[in-house]
Structure 1
Amino acid sequence: MENVEQEFVSMIRTYERVIYKVCYVYATPYASLGDLYQEVVINLWKAFPKFRKECKLSTWIYRIALNTCISFMRKEKNLPEIISLTQSFDRMEEDDETQAMLRQLYRMIDRLGQLEKSIVLLYLEEKSYEEIAEITGLTVTNVATRLSRIKDKLRKMNKEE
């Protein structure tokens, strides 16, 4: 059992930033980043013994993280509010203009639907259309179509601001 625990802790350390990024996109005043992160880690722990390695570990983690966050949001039944992005999850030192652009991007992403958020998050993580399809359960064609529409929607939002 101790070996399984060590393997799990190692996996969490390796993919900690990935988990935080997913949770960050879904965080609201009603579902804090810490609460979402904790739920994801709990669900990963519960599912870890059943992981059959039929897909990449990162794909499995994304799938559980996204499903956990979406389920958590459904349970809350509160409309998500636009949140301020005061801390950078990448802990990068960037100039004010870049930070302002990132805050604006995440405000716009926060206005998207749950599936749209998932797709754009995976796209920003530089996942291929095939990987996005595998994680979300969509077809590759559907991912491409939705991503094109999401980009158009974000462009329109950007012009409106």
Structure 2
Amino acid sequence: MNFSRSLASAATALRAPLRAPSFFAHHFATFFATFFALGALFLAPAAHAQTAPVTAAAAWARPTVQGQLASGAFMRLTAREPVALVGAETPLAARAELHEMKMEGDVMRMREIASLDLPVGRPMMLGPGGYHIMLQGLKAPLKPDMRIPLTLMFRDASGHTSKLELTVPVLAHAPDEGGAKKP
């Protein structure tokens, strides 16, 4: 008999009209749903972004004059793992290419290179007259004391890519080791 009463109670409960959730319960649920959705939105890119195992120091870009469509970006890169610098990009230029300058006989030549292997634990200097990042097709002049966004792309031996986001100051001269401008 208890079983049939329980069954009857359950059937009655199912036919009962559903009550609207209380004001507090509704807003509490809405708050947490929004909180978790926004948290997933902001954390998802961070979970997929892979930061390069490289540090950059003493980064700078050379200023330009009106009408000049190219400049160079320079820095010291130190890798914690074996990687190669394979590219760069900035919204301020149509292209950012890896370049090498070297003497061929009595002539200094500059050419684009596909990649630059970084030795583990040893600084690799990107500077005037050597390896550097060439910013070509500048969309506006680079003025002293501007700061420009620059993204460096790296690839490891297994083919995985990673990025290093930089904000590079535009300076007339290379910064000293403390980051101050040279006179």
- Name the structure with the higher helix share: 1
| TM-score using structure 2 length | 0.25
Instruction: Answer with 1 or 2: which has the greater Rg.
Output: 2
- Name the structure with the higher strand share: 2
| TM-score using structure 1 length | 0.27
